[in-house]
Amino acid sequence: MAQSDHIKALLAEQEIFSAPQTVKEKANLQNYDKVYQQSISDNDAFWAEIASDFVWLEPWDKVSSFDGVNHRWFEGAKTNITLNALDRHVENGRKNKLALVWLGEDGSERSVTYGMLLAMVNRLANGLRSLGVGKGDRVVIYMPLTIEGVASMLACARIGAIHSVVYAGFAAGALRARIEDAGAKVVIAGDIGYRRNKTVDLKTIVDTAVAPLDSVEHVVIFWRGEKKPSGERELDFADLLKHPAQFEAEAVDSEHPLYILYTSGTTGKPKGVVHVHGGYMVGTSYHLQNFYDLKDDDVFFCMSDIGWVVGHSYITYAPLVGGVTTIFREGAPDTPHPGIIWEIVEKYGVTAMFTAPTAVRMWMRMGASYPESYDLSSLRILACAGEPLNPEAFRWAMQYITGDHGYVMDNWWQTELGGPTLGTLAVQEHKPGFVGRPMPGVEACIVNEDGEEMPANTGGLLALKRPFPHMLRTIFGTPERYEAAWQQLPGYYLTGDIAIQDEAGRFSVLGRADDVLNVAGHRIGTADVESALVAHAAVAEAAVIGIPDEIKGEAIKAFVVLRNGFTPDSDLQKTLTHHVRNELGPIASPQEVTFVEGLPKTRSGKIMRRLLKARELGQDPGDLSTLES
């Protein structure tokens, strides 16, 4: 890979940052080198020791098995993740401890203790069971970020049903595709969401999505606005909560699927990533304690949503399994005022926070006067993931957010990987632009397309050499898509990212190797947007690329070839943008639509997005020998 100016600047970086001494001294994981070596030299013993801290109804026969593609953990063991997330806390003195604190944009607050949450989850589980939901059934959850959304996930898990949360910002077409792919018989949805002082009408989206789907037996609506029921299969969430508050959690195999979470791949069909009860619980909890460094008295503010993997692992599951108190907030991080997040940190004495680099860049643009106006001295950790954390944003956050009381930590992972995979611990040195080293239990490397491992300072494909308990088991319905990631270069799991390592072994993740974009930390397949565009009557062909965006990291630009008879004007540009928004949701709507006469293609007919991008950015287009015209 030729070294771009960006890579040269990264490798020339000299400045190293450290967490404050007082923070380092109290860190849960003190000796990375020793722990890492142990985790690799006796991987089974490492994970078995961690797993022994959890409630298992039956012990495992074998810690792990791996045939080069498929991996299984704690086989033979039985548990239910909710026994660990709820019952054991209620029984062991945390009954009255706050589990979840929900904040609304308008300043409202609701919270539940572990005892209250267990009762709510049990009622819902009884309610869902009365609808015929059983072990292995799929339930789609299209809920705004609320306590009820989290409780819906847990209620499914408690029954042994498999939930699939769809971000309540996806449009009807995307929601329908996910309900169909999962074969869900029940959909739990909210009527409205709140964002930027506006209500978002989710009910119409759900109605549109399920209308043609006879396979959906029940639609449960969590009403917050005026009740307007539609249709026979509709039920009221409040009625499910009238069921009894006792429910014995279903004992499931460690390998029993916990959830499906759809993410974008390189085809137009979303990938249903499958995670399981046992290994996922063990691995995500290990990282909550050792990487995010959370302790019993921490106040954790997770700025994500249950629609994303971070919301699964670090709003719902690991924090509850760990018995900590988690704050989450529905709405936009700059509404009602630019200092709102800092007001929350001060008011609640937040000690650890999770956010996306996009948010840091937004705060940076709004200016340091906002964080400077609040007392942020409680804040020990600001964890960032989801997209590259550029050196400038890292430095700014170290200076104005964590200051002399904490540190900013980058961490790299994916929906597929369940939890932090590369990152920098409190006790390690932080180098701007570099995410850090492999977490215990992870073996990562850079390979070229022939499967040769690359030395330091050479970019290539980011690969993993062994599985870990919280890594995906398969892609729902299309296991070959999962298998391909291990089979393309045997011995390596290809993550789809490109990265580089420095001499000290730190990784910097540079972006995607495939046709997937990352817009404000959200993964969007070029194929998803292109297929939405060609579904419009005016469009003959479309190609989509990512263009740099100061805040969002990447924004979407679409090149469109029109069918005969359509006029390339600004009205049609608006119509097409609106159309994609309607099909996929606001996060996937193109920032620019450009009309072109034709698209550059290889002789075999593949669109050369690389060429469009090079032209757009004024870069060298590289090898053009396969270009048809």
Q: State which of positions 415-444 bind ligand AMP (CB under 6 A).
A: 415, 435
CB of 171 to ligand AMP, least distance (A): 18
Q: Name the residue nearer to ligand AMP (CB basis): 177 or 340.
A: 177
Size of the site for ligand AMP (CB under 6 A): 19
**What are the b/e assignments for 354-371, b being 16+ CB within 10 Å?**
bbbbbbbbbbbeeeeebb
- CB nearer ligand AMP, residue 54 or residue 354: 354
Q: Starting at the edge strand that comes first in sequence, how are the strands of the sheet with 553-562 ordered?
A: 539-549, 553-562, 592-595
Residue 532, CB-side half-sphere exposure with 13 Å CA sphere: 27
Rounded CA-CA distance 277/300 in Å is 23
Binding to ligand AMP by CB under 6 A, coded x per residue (else -) over 305-344, reads ----x-----------------------------------
**C-alpha 173: how far from chain center:** 21
Q: Considering only the stretches 231-239, 359-367, 406-414, 529-537, report the one whose residues sit in contact with ligand AMP under the rule CB under 6 A.
A: 406-414
Question: Minimum distance from CB of 266 to ligand AMP (Å)?
Answer: 12
87, 105, 497, 530: which one contacts ligand AMP (CB under 6 A)? 497
Compute the least distance from the CB of residue 417 to ligand AMP, in Å.
8
Greatest alpha-carbon pair distance for the chain in Å reads 71
Stretch of 207-215, 241-249, 408-416, 560-568 lying at the interface with ligand AMP (CB under 6 A)? 408-416
Q: Does 388 bind ligand AMP (CB under 6 A)?
A: yes
Interface residues for ligand AMP in 476-495 (CB under 6 A)? Answer: 495
DSSP 390: -
Tell the residue number behind the tokens 């299209």, with chain if given: 142
* C-alpha distance across the termini of the chain, in Å: 25
The span from the CA of 623 to the CA of 628, in Å, is 12
- Residue with smaller CB distance to ligand AMP, 164 or 411: 411
Closest residue by beta carbon to ligand AMP: 415
Q: What is the CA radius of gyration of the chain?
A: 24
Q: Given CA atoms 105, 107, 113, 117 in this order, what sign does their dihedral have?
A: negative
Q: How far is CA 9 from CA 4, 5, 271, 392, in A?
A: 9, 6, 35, 12
Owner of token pair 């040769």: 452
Q: Which of 173, 272, 386, 460 contacts ligand AMP by CB under 6 A? A: 386
Among 185, 361, 470, 523, binds ligand AMP (CB under 6 A): 523
Question: CB of residue 519 vs ligand AMP: minimum separation in angstroms?
Answer: 10
**Which of the stretches 79-87, 288-296, 381-389, 484-492 binds ligand AMP when contact is defined by CB under 6 A?**
381-389
State the virtual CA torsion across 270, 271, 272, 276 in degrees, nearest 10.
-160
Identity at 273, one-letter amino acid code = V
Give the shortest CB-584-to-ligand AMP separation in angstroms: 15
Residues at the interface with ligand AMP (CB under 6 A): 263, 309, 385-388, 410-412, 414-415, 435, 495-497, 509, 512, 518, 523
